Structure 1
Amino acid sequence: MPGTLRTVRGDIDPAEMGATLPHEHVFGAVDMYWDPGEDPRASRDPDSSPTLENLWHWRENPCTNRGNLHMGDEKDAIDELSVLPDLGVGTLVNLSPIGMGRNAAGLRYVSEVTGVHIVAGSTYYVAASWPDERRSMTEDAMVAEIVEDITVGMEGTDVRAGIVGEVGLSWPIDPLEERALAASVRAHRQTGAALSIHNPYYVPGADTLLEIGRRIAGLGADMSRVIMGHCDGFSRDPRFLDVVGELGCYVELDLFGYPSGYEPEVDFVYPSDELRVETILGLIKAGLADRLLLSHDICFKTSRQKFGGNGYGYIHRVIVPWLKRKGADDDALEQILVRNAQTVLPLAAV
């Protein structure tokens, strides 16, 4: 049986969770993706925000304007999350890793004001984001930091994390990421917290997902408590359903609302929401609804409603009615949107 859910306001009974968004960012900074190039329109100010006149440029070039990669305003966070209770969403997981602007005290404040339960993540992101001082950290030191975040508090506060994630993996996996992954699995086992993985979404073929999953299992993770994030692109592979069944973990389609555009840096075309809907229907038909989670991974200002994006309510406003029209029944949707998170996210006995 699942234990309690560890939120930034304290532990709660999973029955209080409501629907859950398991992969989001309330606060965060992803400067490793900033690339202004030679674009004369690019803003280099991390505190900048789009205006009506330049919003088209920010949306077309999400990583060109540095301010788009910084989400730190508490009022904006409150305004954006306030739409969720009316949609039946009671819980959100903030997967901003260590050192990337997660703002422990701010998360608790936003949760108190909005009434939305927030689960905070603790781990390390892709190697490209690591400052020099972290590169010399030992695996043991990483384990200790993650465990302290979950059992004592983050950033010198008593606000505790409740999940190990999102563990950043590139492709091929960098040796630094290998170290962080091993540390994250150990922390997951020591604390009973679920483990959430940032997969290299841009790599074609479900075989990559299978290889990473087997590596995580080989490190000793409880695969029934592992969430494999960013599976949207992998779902194009006809073998995706077979891989999901073999891994025994949760898979997450978590890029809902992203423009179906081209990312030249990694030669990747984002899947359409139509493909995601068809993938969900396929998983339901295959009897795998109990392995699926859905989210938006909002980490750009332009993904928020204030700046013309779809915001945190998009799945429940648009995708759920779409799925119902395509034949998904209420029980399957309750499984995907509510019960799966109630099973995987609460702390397990250790």
Structure 2
Amino acid sequence: MRTVLGDVPPDALGVCDAHDHLFLRSPVLPGQELDDPVAADARLRAFHGLGGRTVVQWTPYGMGRRAALLAELSRTTGTHVVAATGLHQAVHYPAELLDGIRDGLADLFVSELTGGIGSTSVRAGLIKVAGAFHAVDAHARLTMTAAAEAHHRTGAPIAVHLELGTAALDVLELLCGTLGVPPHRVVLGHLGRSPDLPAQREAARSGAFLAFDGPSRTHHATDWRLPEELAALADDGFAGQLLLGGDTTVPETPGMPHLLRRLRPRLTEVLGADTVERILVANPARAFAFEAPAA
């Protein structure tokens, strides 16, 4: 896995929050920026104190990643942190920014995966892209095409924001069917926000990883439905593809400490300790590993 302090072997990751944010800015969340280093430090230390050892942060290009500070926080808290390249939905960016990078997206992603983010030596460890509501729109097609090229050149995993948990099968059809990304190199985020078990099963049958990430005031059904959703998927033989994340998007989100303090005991009661350990440790170690690029 490629962390902000360098590459580490997958078995060194320990308990992993597979989808979160330490820093995040967007014009659609005015006044709710995650931009406080002291708060980020506190969240990481709380997570570490509960046994957490790795946070995979999905904040992509142009949304306030603060790469140098990610490295400092990782070093001072003793917690592995993974940074992201990629692009979110178009609504999160000024039009002029998108116009300036549109023709060189794949090169941009590869540069941040292999060289560094901005002027830093901090390298990204995944490519984050996003679908639209029940669709893969033109912007998503553009960014996913670039992400697939960057994956083929670097072996980096691709993490996908599914809008309200929808369009998983459309995303897989594009990334894996058309663009040739192996399904096990794709992480589908927010699946729990659309509690459609048949669609979740079909996505799982592809071989992709399924990320269930919350809690969230807007998507609170993610929380109370989660144990039964995970149990159903585990019973169907997909326990090895499940991931959990806190997805801290605004300062009030309970996020990464809540994942271990409150959610882990609930899931252990339903799924058993061995399955929860697999979801928090073994699965993310495989999902976010780098593989040798295709020849």
The alignment status of 1:323 with 2:267, answered yes or no, reads yes
Give a deviation string over 1:156-196, Cα, whole Å, max 9, x none: 1111111111x022233331221111001111121111100
SS at match of 2:85: coil
Following superposition, the deviation at residue 219 of structure 1 comes to 1.3
Match of 1:306 in 2: none
Match of 2:242 in 1: 292
Match of 1:258 in 2: 216
Match of 2:170 in 1: 211
Q: 1:17 aligns with which of 9, 13, 30?
A: 13
What letter is aligned with 2:124? A
Following superposition, the deviation at residue 230 of structure 1 comes to 0.8
What is the TM-score when the length of structure 2 is the normalising length? 0.93
What letter is aligned with 1:30? S
What letter is aligned with 2:241? R
Following superposition, the deviation at residue 318 of structure 1 comes to 1.2
The alignment status of 1:28 with 2:29, answered yes or no, reads no
SS at match of 2:18: strand
Match of 2:232 in 1: 282
More helix by percentage: 2
Structure 1 residues 37-48: aligned runs within 5 Å: none
Cα 1:340–1:319, aligned 2, differ >3 Å: closer, same or farther? same
Where in structure 1 are there 5+ consecutive unaligned residues?
35-65, 262-268, 304-309
The alignment status of 1:246 with 2:214, answered yes or no, reads no
> Quick check: which has more Rg, 1 or 2?
1
Q: RMSD of aligned C-alpha atoms?
A: 1.7
Structure 2 CA distance for aligned equivalents of residues 152 and 300 of structure 1: 30
Following superposition, the deviation at residue 137 of structure 1 comes to 4.8
Which segment drifts farther, 101-110 or 13-22?
13-22
Cα 1:138–1:8, aligned 2, differ >3 Å: closer, same or farther? closer
Q: What is the number of equivalent residue pairs in this alignment? A: 291
Contact kept in structure 1, 2:165 and 2:189, CA below 8 Å: no
Match of 1:335 in 2: 278
Following superposition, the deviation at residue 345 of structure 1 comes to 0.9
The alignment status of 1:224 with 2:168, answered yes or no, reads no
Following superposition, the deviation at residue 337 of structure 1 comes to 0.7
Structure 2 CA distance for aligned equivalents of residues 125 and 95 of structure 1: 10
Contact kept in structure 2, 1:20 and 1:91, CA below 8 Å: yes
What is the TM-score when the length of structure 1 is the normalising length? 0.79
Give a deviation string over 1:93-114, Cα, whole Å, max 9, x none: 1111111100110100111111
Where in structure 2 are there 5+ consecutive unaligned residues?
none
Cα 1:149–1:138, aligned 2, differ >3 Å: closer, same or farther? closer
